[in-house]
Amino acid sequence: MNAIVDPNGPTLAVVPSNPVPEGARVGYFTTPDKVQLRYATFPKGQGAAKGTVCLVQGRTEFIEKYFETIADFQSRGFAVATFDWRGQGGSQRLIGNRRLGYVRRFDDYWEDLRAFHGSILLPDCPAPYYLVGHSMGGIASLYAGIRDRMMFERIFVSAPMVGLDRQPFSMAGMARLCGTLANLGLARVPIGRRGDKAQTEQSFAGNPLTSDLQRFNRSVEVLKARPELELGAPTFRWAASAFAAMAGAATDEFPGAVRIPVLMLAAARDEIVSTAAIETLGLRMRTGRHVVIPGARHEMFVENDAIRGQVFAAFDAFITEQSA
């Protein structure tokens, strides 16, 4: 596992509406199965050092989408380390059609995070480490809390993908269905969902992601500048892997297996993941709890100022004030 930082390496997209946080350092690291992932680290801002936030993104996302959020963490005294998951953003794509979401198995995301921890966090970033994840990154964060309770002090997740509403079968049933179709030759065939449509200036009205027009358009501008960062619909193989992970989170054993402190935020108006599933899991966890943010849509880190204020108030109470 090697970290690479050189003038000919990866870059970050720069657009006027989305300034790069101070002190950015960008490079590649390589996972044990030889997948090259783009990462970036950012030093803390002024004030006492509080450790490092390891920020893991949702499906289709990319480092640049979190610039404002990274700066918010920096201003609180945290260094920030983040990366693009395999198959998306500026990381290596896994199949010929780079616009389709594909992963062989959900455990591969754990391998990405574990490689990042060993290659970048431990040697380059100040301890202690706090894991912050959104959506797909949220459920990956919860599984990380089961796999290795010593990697992170606390886990803070936004709209974790622990279940989906309006499905014809249970999460386990959907995993079996999608897995069967993938094994019948449809593994790389896309599945379309409303939330997977490309963002454009015209698609803001009624979008399920955020009520904030400026932040919505900021992502549009980044993708216009760097269209290679965009990811479209997931494939049947990705869906089978994701549904299997969600089915695992619904088992009786899962809540007690997470042994480090966890705070889950659920969006009251979420149309992407199931708020009810987050609430159910939060009530069953021994070391975790949940908070529902009124009025919020799925992407709370890019919601309006009032909602983001509630998100960071929860973060401060759970992490910032505990690390002082």
> Tell me, what DSSP letter sits at residue 150?
T
256, HSE (Cβ side, Cα atoms, 13 Å): 3
Tokens encoding 233 = 């619909």
Which pLDDT value is given to residue 85? 98
Between 213 and 195, name the one with better pLDDT.
213
The class level of CATH for 3-320 reads alpha beta
Which pLDDT value is given to residue 6? 58
CB 95 within 8 A of CB 188: yes
Q: How confident is the model at residue 192 (pLDDT cuts 50, 70, 90)?
A: confident
Q: What is the pLDDT of residues 132-181, one digit of tens each?
A: 999 999 999 999 999 999 999 999 999 999 999 999 999 999 999 999 99
Dist CA 233 CA 130 (whole Å)? 30
Dist CA 321 CA 76 (whole Å)? 10
Dist CA 294 CA 311 (whole Å)? 11
CB 267 within 8 A of CB 195: no
- Bridge partners of 266, per DSSP, are 292
Dist CA 62 CA 217 (whole Å)? 15
Q: How confident is the model at residue 2 (pLDDT cuts 50, 70, 90)?
A: very low
Q: How confident is the model at residue 323 (pLDDT cuts 50, 70, 90)?
A: confident
Dist CA 61 CA 131 (whole Å)? 17
Long-range CB contacts (< 8 A, 24+ apart) of 47-51?
Answer: 47/76, 47/77, 48/77, 48/324, 49/77, 49/79, 49/126, 50/76, 50/77, 50/78, 50/320, 50/323, 50/324, 51/78, 51/79, 51/126, 51/127, 51/128, 51/129, 51/130, 51/153, 51/323
CB 152 within 8 A of CB 144: yes
| Average pLDDT of the residues in 301-309 | 98
Which pLDDT value is given to residue 9? 82
CB 216 within 8 A of CB 202: no
What average pLDDT does the structure give for the chain?
A: 95
Which pLDDT value is given to residue 314? 98
| pLDDT reading at 195 higher than 90 | no
User: Domain spans of the chain?
Assistant: 3-320
Q: In the chain, pLDDT over 90 holds for what percent of residues? A: 91
Residue among 70, 92, 89, 123 nearest 12 (CA)? 89
Which pLDDT value is given to residue 200? 82
Helix 107-116 and helix 136-147, axial crossing angle in degrees, nearest 10: 70
Dist CA 159 CA 166 (whole Å)? 17
Q: Specify the pTM.
A: 0.95
Backbone angles phi, psi at 167, to 5 degrees: -105, 145
| Average pLDDT of the residues in 12-37 | 96
